[in-house]
């Protein structure tokens, strides 16, 4: 738990799945923190000071020391606050969690976001949808228990919030068949259990707000193509 | 140190900087291992079995348990064999090492390889050279001691073998000004110290062999453009 001596701050943006992952991890561990919502069209001096390399959220600041990149932040949080571990104590299980988290970022997050953004090239868009679908199938086959972390939410589940929350949003807005329940029954069941977890439920953004936000962005992409 | 009960195996390819990183880490820790050179144009059953997701080297196999992705392998090696640690015991220093390693992969390795491969689009090539140069400048400013790891080689140095060994090769073959010594004096000095480290020296591939190999690949790219 945090003490009076500790300062824990998170620079975030409500639409970011990477920020959401960090929020879930902090809450799972019961860490209190100051949250600063960034206006990404007018970035704060704090953001530019603390993440000069990427100028992106999330930035996690612990006693004045900033860390960027959500996977790096999650590992740091798990190392500093030992309660409710999100990574196993077994080195091989830790390696697998790191592997699958990187896989989700590289093969699912990146491709789904591209499929959302690339509105002027049907072929390129289709390619990204296919890559994302193949990667989801691989993940579907990997899911053996209630959560990727076993009976409790772990590192991979937290990273996969993108699949549970953001991909259905993208699907509903674009009409792209990214995550049909019948194609991925295990992953779909996982996504429901995950979103119903009390800590996840209180830390994902309001769906209607994000829906409106991304729909407006999508429509402006379509309009300018 | 390994015991008779342990089986440590590495599937690699001589041209891969990611494999080279793993070799350096194993040697720094004094771990004996079986090395299997993959023919990437005719991948072994072992590779397909142990890395079905990416079918790429390196694959590290410890007592029949396979791990892919070089950064994940390096962390695993450091967790299993505690001697000569490559990551600091301080969580913040560990976070920084993870951040910079990812930065090198995302911003320097990826862009330099693209600059090598994209021979039919001058503008795209130039864009990648510029991105790599900017990232190297950021790294130049970060280098405060003899090595990124301080007085000893650490995680970031091992990942940066790409900068010390592969980038000068690409530069010599393509004529692209990726890493001119006068532009990056600290990084250049680091690269010389690093390549002269006895363990690095005996674990980088023979330069003339790689030069011939990549030159032939480059010429076939040029010929087919």
**Who among A62, A68, A99 is closest to B72 (CB)?**
A99
Nearest of B160, B165, B163 to residue B206 by alpha carbon: B165
Cα–Cα separations (whole angstroms), residue A68 to A123, B12, B104: 34, 31, 14
The verdict on a CB contact (< 8 Å) between B79 and A98 is no
Residues A163 and A202 in one domain: yes
A55 pLDDT exceeds 80?
yes
Give the end of a domain, one of B38, B59, B80. B80
d(CA B160, CA B91): 21
- Whole-number pLDDT of residue A6: 87
Query: Considering the domain boundaries, does residue A208 fall inside one?
Result: yes
pLDDT, averaged across chain A: 96
DSSP label at residue A87: S
Cis upstream peptide for B58 (omega within 30°): yes
Q: Is A170 on the interface with B (CB under 8 A)?
A: no
Query: Considering the domain boundaries, does residue B24 fall inside one?
Result: yes
Residues A44 and A125 in one domain: no
- Whole-number pLDDT of residue B4: 55
The verdict on a CB contact (< 8 Å) between A76 and B69 is no
Q: List the CATH number of the domain containing B37.
A: 3.40.30.10
Sign of CA dihedral A38, A42, A47, A51: positive
Q: Which domain holds residue A37?
A: 8-80
Count of structural domains, chain A: 2
Q: Is A68 on the interface with B (CB under 8 A)?
A: yes
Residues A41 and A137 in one domain: no
Residues B200 and B108 in one domain: yes
What pLDDT digit, counting tens, does each position of B127-145 carry?
Answer: 999 999 999 999 999 999 9
Could you give the count of Cα atoms lying within 13 Å of B220 in the half-sphere of its Cβ? 5
The verdict on a CB contact (< 8 Å) between A80 and B91 is yes
- Whole-number pLDDT of residue B6: 87
- Whole-number pLDDT of residue B106: 96
- Whole-number pLDDT of residue B100: 98
Residues B71 and B109 in one domain: no
Residues A14 and A124 in one domain: no
Residues A200 and A157 in one domain: yes
**Distance, C-alpha B109 to centroid of its chain:** 8
Residues B53 and B24 in one domain: yes
Q: List the CATH number of the domain containing A161.
A: 1.20.1050.10
- Whole-number pLDDT of residue A148: 97
Nearest of B76, B71, B87, B75 to residue B149 by alpha carbon: B87
- Whole-number pLDDT of residue B74: 98
A137 pLDDT exceeds 60?
yes
Query: Considering the domain boundaries, does residue B85 fall inside one?
Result: no
d(CA A107, CA A128): 9
What pLDDT digit, counting tens, does each position of A165-214 carry?
Answer: 999 999 999 999 999 999 999 999 999 999 999 999 999 999 999 999 99
- Whole-number pLDDT of residue B3: 52
Stretches where chain B sits below pLDDT 50 are: 1-2
Q: Is A64 on the interface with B (CB under 8 A)?
A: no
């Amino acid at each position: 738990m945090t003490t009076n001596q500790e300062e824990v701050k998170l620079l975030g943006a409500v639409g970011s799945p990477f920020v959401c992952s960090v929020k879930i991890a902090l809450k799972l561990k019961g860490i209190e923190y100051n949250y600063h919502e960034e206006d990404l069209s007018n970035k704060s001096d704090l953001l530019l000071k603390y993440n000069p390399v990427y100028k992106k959220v999330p930035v996690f600041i612990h006693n004045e020391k900033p860390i960027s990149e959500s996977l790096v932040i999650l590992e740091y949080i798990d190392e500093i606050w030992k309660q409710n571990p999100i990574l196993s104590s077994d080195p091989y299980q830790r390696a697998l969690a790191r592997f699958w988290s990187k896989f989700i970022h590289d093969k699912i997050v990146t491709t789904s976001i591209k499929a959302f953004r690339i509105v002027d090239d049907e072929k390129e868009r289709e390619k990204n949808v296919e890559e994302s679908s193949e990667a989801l199938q691989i993940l579907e086959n990997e899911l053996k228990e209630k959560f990727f972390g076993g009976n409790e939410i772990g590192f991979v589940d937290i990273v996969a919030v993108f699949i549970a929350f953001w991909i259905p949003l993208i699907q509903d807005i674009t009409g792209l068949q990214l995550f049909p329940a019948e194609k991925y029954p295990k992953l779909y069941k996982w996504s429901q259990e995950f979103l119903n977890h009390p800590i996840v439920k209180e830390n994902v953004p309001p769906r209607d707000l994000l829906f409106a936000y991304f729909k407006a962005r999508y429509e402006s992409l379509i309009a300018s193509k």
